[in-house]
Structure 1
Amino acid sequence: MSTEILPVAAPARVRAYARRLVLRHPRALAGALALHGLAAATGLVAPRLLGDLVDGVRTGRGLPIDAIAAAIAVAVVAQGVLTRYAYLASARLGERVLAELREEFVDRVLALPLPTVERAGTGDLVSRSSRDVDQLATSVRHAVPETLVAVVMIVCTAGALLLNGPLLALPVLVVVPLVWGVLRWYLPRAVPGYLREGAAWAELTDGLAETVQGARTVEAFGLAARRRARGDADIARSFGVERYTLGLRSVLIPSIEFGFVLPAAAVLLLGGWLHLHGHASLGQVTAAALYAQQLNGPIDALVSWLDEVQLGGASLARLLGVGGVGTGRAGGDRRPAGEAIAARSVRYAYRPGHDVLHGVDLDLREGERLAVVGPSGAGKSTLGRLLAGVDGPRDGAVTVGGPSGNGNGSGDGGRVPLVELPLDELRGHVALVTQEHHVFRGTVRDNLVMARPDATPEQVAAALAAVDWDGPGLDAEVGSGGAALSPAESQQLALARLVLADPHTLVLDEATSLLDPRAARRLERSLAAVLEGRTVVAIAHRLHTAHDADRVAVVEDGRISELGTHDELLAAGGSYAALWSSWHGNGAARAPAGGPGAAGR
């Protein structure tokens, strides 16, 4: 399967989501903006008082200098206090919004269909979960609040300029054409550039992760040079994109920095001319010059953080794109009437035009133990994934409900396609356990009860006893940073979690493959006692599993070639008989039809 980059949300969706996210807390937002506005307003007092002082000195009016100085001091202190609480309010709002965004992202990731995750590879999802989340955190914590503060201060200062003298406010507009032109050039290029930067970083991460995870394979097959060339190409691609975005900033920031000097210079020139012709007092010119100079700070902040906002917008688009994949569920509201699972004319392909299952029909009888055997690559694991509802068939249907052997996949008799069941309800009907297990960081108890949070201590102990657990105690820390579990112990823990979850139907795909044959045999017998009355589909290479099963299905070339009991299939002398004979080491065994690896997984 080729790697596919997960989708990216459209700009309109990003803006709408950001707007909804912020407006979820209108009171907090209004409070923060009000505090910033008051802080900006107090910062405008000093220039106005200094202008009045200049006019008073020039006209000879005796002004209470001590009172003016005291008023300026009070305004400065008030501005500092208000700024402190304004930033505190912004930080609280930002952390709340960021927490909600992270929780929603985790929900989206956990709802991703497993095939989508497998096709996307490690790098893209890891880069979104780490780099993009970190970048968005920077934007939410710093860039967005600073941008809002800058906008509020610019608006307040512009209002003060107009009140001071409309004619003296006109020179400030000299910077508008420059800023407008630069931003019109920069903004259409920024987000696409940062999106390409994120995609390049995802490819780089994916390549490095593959090389590290497959280090032994790389070494065994002499692939080091090829992997190094892949890494160099990914680094060069990432470097090229980052150089492009750096080029954007190298035009944006110097242009705006140059624009800072224009308003103050223009105010002094026009203000001097207006004063000479009696259209403005010297105090008004002084206040206007101070206001124009005071604009430098918020404009500088606005431009400095604007780039971070664009980068955060690109990261948000990548995070929201995860939600655009969908859950892979059809979202029906029907409920199955029964627990029987059936497959009708099922076809499945990992790549278009290359089916690995070809019209499979299978009825699972409630409470039976079905063994699925066959050569490697015949499609056993793929069939198991479809029976567990992990994947949906390309054609045909896998349904649950109704009496065994009934239905044609249309939902008659209370049958419902597995892909129409929400994940939470699906796992109450059927669950899949493979030979790949993850131990979460926490205690052994934490790793168990995640399958059933309301489990009692007795139920937890019974689940461990069912898998002959002899590993660390319930309170032992395992996972990253904790006690290391052996592959066999990890497999036992996963099976104990399955026992605790208590689904009606279980699909075990080589679930005991990491145990030695004697321990696996003992574990399977223990599980058989605990799982009595439940439907079990066991995909296995060890044929003693088939010997103990109620029925055996032989999968070859993406089809079920034989179906029956162990004794019936031996008597038939077909592929299963050949497998059994070969497994017991008899030289008379013949090769199964289709051969290993004939059809896919």
Structure 2
Amino acid sequence: MKVRTLPVAEPRFVRRFLRLTAARHRGELGKVLALYGAAVSSGLVGPWLLGSLVEDLRHGTTTGHVTVVIAALTGFILLQTFLTRIAFRAAGRLAATVQGEIREKFVDDVLDLPIATVESADDGDLVTRASQDSETLRRTMQLAVPQVTEALVWIVLGIVALLVVSPLLSVALLIILPPLYAVNRWFLARAREGFLREAAASSGITDGLDATIQGAATVESHRLEKDRVLRAEQATDTWYETMRYTLRLRTVLYSTEEFLYTLPLAVALLLGGYAYSEGWVGIAEVTAATLYILQLMFPFETLLDWVGTLQQGSASLGRLLGVSAGAGGEDAGKEAPVGAQASGERVAVDAVDLSVRDLRFAYEDGPQVLHGIDLSIGRGERVTIVGPTGSGKSTLARLLSGTYAPQGGEVRLGGVALAELAHHELRRHLVLVSQEQHVFGGTLRQNLELAASHLPQEGGPEGGDAALWSALATVGATGWVQGLPEQLDTTVGVGGESLTDAQVQQLALARLVVADPSVLILDEATSRLDPGSARELERSFAAVLEGRTVISIAHRLHTARDADRIVVVEGGRVVESGSHQDLLERGGAYARLWSSWI
């Protein structure tokens, strides 16, 4: 079963993001590197002191001199431990800061995603990115990155110290660098794609389990238990195969590097002994060089331990940043082009119209749903779109709201193509309210204030409450909200008071009143209410619609009767347009729908 996923950021995009992040935190990064450099330098003094002590002992020295050398060695070891601790904590703080920025960016990017993009991916993909990929990145940033940074500083300064002490004995270390480079290049060329496939397969497991849990009643009533178990097993087998692939990569890498790490010390001892016997180097150089090579094995081992985690972290970062790619690639999060911003300024609240020209759309791998629709809706006009089930009404609503992008033609708001408007600018003027609404875990006040960012703050909390109560009164929700234990401060949603479908819909419409957009698109917004409640809500809502451009998608034809204009859609085409009475007199498609409804 193919897993549908959101985009994954390309490696060059990830590298660019990391470069920009490093530049933004250059001060903290410089401090971390300086601390690690000082710690490593303290540790590199030890082999030089011991080499000199061995040479002194060979030629004869005093007990006092030995004591001084041991005391100095102990002091440098303590200094190294102290500086390493400070450096590790500084690196951890920097990593936590960057990780927090990445998480905030991920949340912002998810909220900026068009609904159509979210719907194109399986639910498990976004959940896995927010949980598993976020946790993998946390482990990489807070554990792997500080230790790898220290290891790299050790390797660079250790090789420099080795070259200074004895260029000849440095050959013992340098002979393993080419094969180390080759095996790591082989691993890195394959690991990222392997870990991405593993993450995608894990998303498939999450999506399947989520669907089974959400549809537990349906699974039980239709006896689908075996089918769901089989699907879970298939998803697990797919994940297992991808995991085996990455495991094979790591097995080759680790076993090769473990073998290579045993060579330098043996070569150093053999080469050092021979060079000393030939008089090419002294005993101090042999001792110091051997100890430096021994020291360097530990940071190499650290790299070996964490290289797989780094690749997993890189893949997870690509998946988290890929959400931004889904919202616009490398330009995600940037302001809209100057032309778009300038055009957006012309879309004033008191001068808005909506026009559609040659609009065409088809879902992925499916036939065309809309066929060249032309439509013009003037400022303040109330238009109701009707048609039989499957005619394309809801698809048209999502295209008019900018949720879906047309595959042909365009939708213009105030003379500006929707594609040219920044997302936040578009939503200031145009809002879609569908039959699917969500109550966020939190207080009723917080649910309403999601749409209240534009409200003036002069009135303080009481002034803000007045606007919220006014919105609730407009949609007829004052009664049941006043009956809640803490009214606006009552917790609703997950872990709070349960709301009926009618109350959820009223809350959604109250949010709409608070948002105060210029253009409203109502896609069967009252469909979850019983007919009596729906009529009452529609009557109370009439005052809010006054003076606005309103487009309603309706199955209940009584809601169309009071519209300024009714647009009839059949087979993805506009077949009729006019007032209720005009269309009845024509005796066409609308008259047939009305007759069936009556």
Report the TM-score, using the length of structure 1 for normalisation. Answer: 0.89
Contact 2:399 2:411 in 1 (8 A): yes
Alpha-carbon distance in structure 2 between the residues aligned to 1:251 and 1:353:
45
- In 2 relative to 1, CA 10–365 (structure 1 residues): closer, same or farther, beyond 3 Å? closer
Q: Residues 215, 320 of structure 1: CA spacing in aligned structure 2 closer, same or farther, 3 A cutoff?
A: same
Q: 1:378 aligns to what?
A: 391
Aligned to 1:483: 497
Residue 591 of structure 1: aligned partner? none
Q: Show the 5 A alignment for 1:382-461.
A: 382-401=395-414, 415-455=415-455, 456-461=464-469
1:351 to 2:326 alignment? no
Judging changes above 3 Å, is the alpha-carbon distance between structure 1 residues 88 and 55 closer, same or farther for their aligned structure 2 residues? same
Residue 471 of structure 2, aligned match among 455, 458, 463? 463
Does the alignment pair 1:37 with 2:37? yes
Q: SS at the partner of 2:363?
A: strand
What letter is aligned with 1:460?
L
C-alpha contact (below 8 Å) 2:430/2:517 kept by paired residues = yes
Structure 2: which 5+ runs fail to align? 456-463
How far apart, in 2, do the equivalents of 1:560 and 1:321 lie?
A: 38
1:174 touches 1:266 (CA, 8 Å); kept in 2?
Answer: no
Q: Which amino acid aligns with 1:69?
A: I
Question: Retained in 2: the 8 A contact 1:218–1:224?
Answer: yes
Which stretch shows the higher mean deviation, 67-76 or 283-292?
283-292
Q: In the alignment, is the contact (CA less than 8 A) between 1:3 and 1:119 conserved in 2? A: no
- Any conservation in 1 of the 2:3–2:200 contact (CA below 8 Å)? no
Deviation at 1:221, TM superposition (A): 4.6
**CA spacing shift, 1:353–1:118, aligned 2, 3 Å:** closer
Alignment of 1:10-21 (within 5 A): 10-21=10-21
> Within the alignment, does 1:368 sit opposite 2:376 as a pair?
no
Cα distance in 1, alignment partners of residues 469 and 204 from structure 2:
44
| One-letter amino acid matched to 1:325 | G
Counterpart for residue 578 of structure 1: 592
How far apart are 1:351 and its partner, in Å? 3.5
SS of 1:508's partner is strand
Root mean square deviation, CA, Å: 2.3
Deviations 1:181-223 (A, max 9, x none): 4223322121121122122222333333333333444445554
Shift in alpha-carbon separation, 1:541–1:3, aligned structure 2, 3 A: farther
The answer as to 2:514 corresponding to 1:500 is: yes
Q: CA deviation at 1:107?
A: 2.8
3-state SS of 1:290 partner: helix
Q: 1:12 to 1:453 in 2, by over 3 A?
A: closer
Pair 1:267 & 2:281 matched: no
> Equivalents in 2 of 1:178, 1:341: separation in Å?
65
Counterparts of 2:528 and 2:537, CA distance in 1: 12
Q: Structure 1 residues 319-328 or 438-447, which shifts more?
A: 319-328
Cα shift at 1:500: 0.5
d(CA) in 2 for partners of 1:506, 1:181: 61
Amino acid at match of 1:480: V
Other-structure match for 2:523: 509
Amino acid at match of 2:162: L
2-structure distance, mates of 1:439, 1:353: 32
Establish whether residue 197 from structure 1 lines up as the match of residue 204 from structure 2.
no
1:286 paired with 2:256, answer: no
What residue in structure 2 maps to residue 599 of structure 1? none
Distance in 2, matches of 1:123 and 1:304, equals 30
Q: Provide the residue aligned with 2:461 in structure 1.
A: none
* 1:296-319 Cα distance to aligned partner (Å, 9 max, x none): 211111111111111112222223
Q: Which stretch has the larger CA shift, 296-305 or 184-193?
A: 184-193
> How far apart are residue 39 of structure 1 and its match?
0.4
Deviations 1:429-486 (A, max 9, x none): 2110011111222221111112122432211111111122223421122233333323
Say if 2:165 and 2:285, in contact at 8 Å, map to a contact too: yes
Amino acid at match of 2:243: E
SS at 2:552's partner residue? Answer: strand
Letter of the structure 1 residue corresponding to residue 465 of structure 2: P
Is contact 1:444-1:478 (8 Å) kept? yes
Counterpart in 2 of 1:157? 158
How many residues align? The count is 570
Amino acid at match of 1:434: S
Question: Following the alignment from structure 1 to structure 2, what is the Cα–Cα distance between the partners of residues 15 and 178?
Answer: 25
How far apart are 1:177 and its partner, in Å? 4.0
1:494 maps to a residue whose letter is A
2:70 alignment partner in structure 1: 69
Q: Letter of the 2:320 partner, please give it.
A: L
Distance 1:217 1:440 in 2: 25
SS in 2 for 1:553: strand
**Residues 268-310 of structure 1, C-alpha deviation per residue, up to 9 Å, x if partnerless?**
2222222223333333322222222111211111111111111
8 Å Cα contact 2:194-2:246 kept in structure 1 = yes
Distance 1:358 1:174 in 2: 68
Partners of 2:167 and 2:376 lie apart in 1 by 84
1:203-257 deviation line (CA, Å, top 9, x unaligned): 3333333333334444455544444333222211110010111111112122222
Q: Deviations over 1:517-568 (max 9, x none)?
A: 2222111111112332112222222222123333322222212223222223
- 2:568 is equivalent to residue 554 of structure 1: yes
Task: Give the whole-Å Cα distance in 1 for the aligned partners of 2:417 and 2:269.
Answer: 77
Q: Is the 8 A contact 1:22 1:97 kept in 2?
A: no
Amino acid at match of 1:211: T
AA of the residue aligned to 1:344: R
The alpha-carbon distance between structure 1 residues 435 and 327, as it changes in their structure 2 partners (threshold 3 A), is farther
Unaligned runs of 5+ in 1: 402-414, 585-601
Preserved CA contact (<8 Å) 2:352 2:378: no
Instruction: Pick closer, same or farther for the CA change 1:484–1:32 going to 2, 3 Å.
Output: same
Q: Would you say the 8 A contact 2:3–2:204 is kept in 1? A: no
In structure 1, what residue type is equivalent to 2:119?
E
For 2:545, which of 528, 531, 536 is the aligned residue?
531
Give the alignment of 1:197-276 within 5 angstroms. 197-276=198-277
Once residues 567 and 186 of structure 2 are traced to their aligned partners in structure 1, the CA distance between those partners, rounded to angstroms, is 65
Taking the aligned partners of 1:134 and 1:353, their CA distance within structure 2 comes to 37
| Counterpart in the other structure of 1:105 | 106
Give TM-score, length-normalised by structure 2: 0.90
Aligned residues of 2:151 and 2:302 also touching (Cα < 8 A): yes
Task: Compare 148-157 and 126-135 and name the one that shifted more.
Answer: 126-135
Larger mean CA deviation between 573-582 and 473-482 belongs to: 573-582
- 2-structure distance, mates of 1:266, 1:125: 52
